[in-house]
Chain A
């Protein structure tokens, strides 16, 4: 999905940090750490009953990946990531601008079933924090147990970072983490992360 997001230009939304980085790329480093704002992904909230085979099959067909039913896990399709948010709730991340077509595709495939699809693309920004000490940086403001034996690549969680709600997902073993704060909390979360990273400079 990341590659598709980097190359997509149509329908791209302004980043959430345009006040801090006017016209420039929102990115900062501190020693081995890199923090960047990623292009705002399309975001679709999906609800339905995963034990209903018709629902699970229709979703899998459209997205090209299995519905993650294990708590706190992520499944990846071609251009999509599917994050578990609850026993009947998921977040679909798409390439920027692809959300409208995908929503329409899901609505069509699920016609007649019990489901809910909401385009929530304006809801969250997307940051990526990468580098060996990334786990320690997050641990300064997140009570989640981020030890690799409890939270590894392919896992996600709705939790708090510095008392503000985020969705956190580990994307590789660098480790790299995707952090999705509410858009109106993006500046706050960014500044908090910059401060937490400063000691590794």
Chain B
């Protein structure tokens, strides 16, 4: 029996997972490669990018690039103990900007997740509720984040709350919509099977709908994290004291071009790390998906 089953595993497993993942019949043997990110290749990518930057700005001095901060200039400023424009790895101010932005992201992203996931689950679960709420939701969703700026300033006294609010708004719509789609993507026969077994609506919601929607929820959270940074920086540029968006904007106003680049690089790094964190949590919660394709044990 087991021999036959083992034989069927290849063909059948591949068919079952083909829609979500490419078939990976030999992953067990190749695991060391898959498990570690492709570091050498990504380093080549980074090197090529930095080289292009260096050549375009400082070596060839291409017409439109000449005024941009150069790689060497930025690197020297960034690692200087006594930076020309006051912000480097060795100044407290630098970390204060990062910390302030991070705090806002954590507040906005958490609020968006805590409100968006339950709302999305409800929207997907109850047709009645969806009929009431979804049209309003869909009307508000396309409003660009910058259009919310006046309202948020009127609504909240003080720049801090309104910056967090703007960041929250963008993330909230993404998370809610993806969660709702996640619920709707659950195979109806799975829900029927649970009903057949005698599960109460509560049990179905908790044990079938919520975990079944998890893959979509985490796709949503990753996008939502990206959108959070995007709108945070926009909001910080409009109103705010401190934060990486504020740093970039003031550096521009004061013609401190290397500091702009430092702010951008830092944003990239922190954004990358925060998305990676969301992915990591997702992978932890969805061990069943990884095991399904044979990665990890």
Is B a genuine binding partner of A? no
**Which chain A residues have a beta carbon within 8 Å of chain B's beta carbons?**
none
